[in-house]
């Protein structure tokens, strides 16, 4: 089976005249159409807001596209907060969800008036001592055990480092209310990259029932429920993609069945999607530069795990298209590799593909989230450029490629490497 690319070989040939491979390429048209669908799917909820998970794709040009549609930012670090602030996000446009949080990051988030989502019961006291308790706050819930949809185990929250237990959540709300909190939120993330329309409605039911219990027992005024992320994408071509309209309708039904009868029908629904928002609308473009014939057949690319870490880190599948050979038979078995001194630096293992010739352009699909963002500099490799394929077919450089000067920049306090010529 094959996946369609959002860019043609002819377009790539033009792009590579200006920008050498490897680079990450993003589809503006796809991003815009997707965020419109998300907003339509949850339009039944008056307070709905998507807080884009900045960690997934921390590029200001792409975040600004989402900002046009009223999205906020989900930040998890100081630098992500700084980026959001620089882009004009403020106050309730920013959700700060972090863990093992340094004091200075809580202080910065409070100065920005961002909505803080506490990850742990002990953070109540820590936040009060370091930055003070705000009037609006959210707490992250971890129900523990295994998270199942029907009989399928989706994930194991009991092994996750995140969130309050149920008992801690109830006690935490009581304490926070006594300390002056007026507006409360509940947040949870129970499974990653789910490709099922049942995940969000199932999670929503858990959170809605918990919210009713908490408000009844503590009197806390719950203003929003944050379903976080977890809606996945079909990395494999045979997978059926999620239907965001069916997902939105499933959440609406749970909302009407649980919250409305409890007199809590004015609660806003928030999401913090990253992969769903950007994943399919980015790809890594690389050139085949070497072939190796030993015990297996290898194709060496000018990209490596520095540019896309997921296959090396998780054994994750990313579909690969050999551009210009989409309709040729996949009758050659290859390992597609990078040049790192690591044997796990492979984009594909025993992948059946058309015959690859040196100079062929390969498109590695679905890298728009957690692709460039997870890059690193092992072996002194440099991170690639990011390019936006605009709706009109033109391109825009939205991040330049790193240079050796960038790599050595943290030695600028010393002249030990002064003899390097750039």
Query: Which long-range CB contacts under 8 A does 341-347 form with residues at least 24 apart?
Result: 341/379, 342/305, 342/312, 342/378, 344/305, 344/311, 344/312, 345/304, 345/305, 345/312, 346/311, 346/312, 347/301, 347/303, 347/308, 347/311, 347/318, 347/320
Gyration radius (Cα) of the chain, Å = 23
Are residues 321 and 357 in contact, defined by beta-carbon separation less than 8 angstroms? no
Q: Alpha helix locations (H) across 179-261?
A: 199-218, 244-254
CA 363 – CA 322 distance, rounded (Å): 7
Q: List CB contacts of 108: < 8 A, sequence separation 6 or more.
A: 78, 81, 82
Tokens of 376: 């690193």
Tokens of 77: 């670090």
174-204 exposure pattern, b = at least 16 Cβ within 10 A, e = fewer: ebbeeeebebbbbbbbbbebbebbbbbbbbb
First to last CA, the chain: 46
Active site residues: 341
What letter would DSSP give residue 267?
P
What distance lies between CA 291 and its chain's CA centroid?
33
What letter would DSSP give residue 22?
S
CA 7 – CA 322 distance, rounded (Å): 12
CA 168 – CA 139 distance, rounded (Å): 10
Burial classification of residue 114, based on how many CB atoms lie within 10 Å of its CB (0-12 exposed, 13-18 middle, 19 or more buried): buried
Closest CA to 186 of 155, 233, 221: 221
């Amino acid at each position: 089976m094959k996946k369609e690319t959002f860019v043609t070989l002819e377009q790539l040939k033009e792009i590579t005249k200006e920008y050498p491979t490897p680079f990450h390429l993003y589809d503006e048209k796809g991003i815009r159409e997707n965020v419109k669908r998300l907003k339509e799917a949850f339009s039944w909820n008056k307070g709905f807001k998507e807080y884009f998970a900045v960690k997934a794709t921390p590029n200001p040009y792409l975040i600004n596209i989402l900002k046009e549609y009223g999205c906020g930012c989900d930040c998890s670090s100081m630098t992500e907060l700084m980026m959001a602030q620089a882009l004009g996000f403020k106050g309730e446009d920013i959700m700060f969800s972090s863990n093992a949080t340094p004091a200075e990051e809580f202080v910065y988030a409070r100065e920005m008036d961002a909505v803080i989502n506490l990850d742990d019961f002990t953070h109540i006291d820590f936040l009060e001592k370091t930055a003070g308790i705000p009037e609006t706050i959210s707490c992250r819930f971890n129900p523990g055990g295994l998270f199942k949809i029907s009989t399928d185990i989706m994930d194991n929250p009991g092994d996750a480092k995140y969130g309050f237990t149920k008992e801690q959540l109830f006690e935490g709300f009581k304490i926070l209310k006594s300390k002056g909190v007026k507006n409360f939120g509940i947040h949870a993330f129970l499974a990653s990259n789910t490709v099922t329309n049942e995940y969000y409605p199932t999670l929503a039911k858990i959170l809605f029932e918990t919210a009713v219990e908490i408000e009844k027992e503590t009197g806390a005024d719950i203003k929003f429920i944050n379903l976080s992320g977890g809606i996945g994408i079909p990395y494999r071509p045979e997978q059926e993609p999620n239907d965001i309209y069916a997902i939105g309708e499933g959440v609406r039904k749970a909302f009407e069945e649980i919250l409305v009868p409890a007199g809590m029908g004015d609660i806003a629904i928030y999401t913090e999607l990253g992969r769903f928002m950007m994943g399919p609308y980015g790809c890594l473009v690389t050139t085949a530069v070497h072939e190796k014939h030993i015990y297996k057949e290898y194709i060496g690319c000018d990209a490596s795990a520095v540019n896309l870490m997921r296959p090396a880190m998780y054994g994750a599948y990313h579909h690969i298209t050999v551009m210009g050979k989409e309709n040729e038979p996949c009758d050659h078995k290859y390992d597609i590799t990078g040049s790192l001194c690591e044997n796990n630096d492979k984009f594909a293992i025993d992948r059946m593909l058309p015959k690859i010739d040196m100079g062929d352009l390969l498109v590695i699909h679905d890298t728009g989230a957690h692709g460039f963002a997870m890059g690193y500099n092992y072996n002194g490799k440099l991170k690639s450029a990011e390019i936006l394929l605009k709706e009109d077919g033109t391109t825009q450089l939205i991040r330049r490629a790193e240079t050796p000067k960038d790599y050595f920049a943290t030695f600028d306090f010393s002249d030990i490497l002064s003899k390097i010529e750039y």
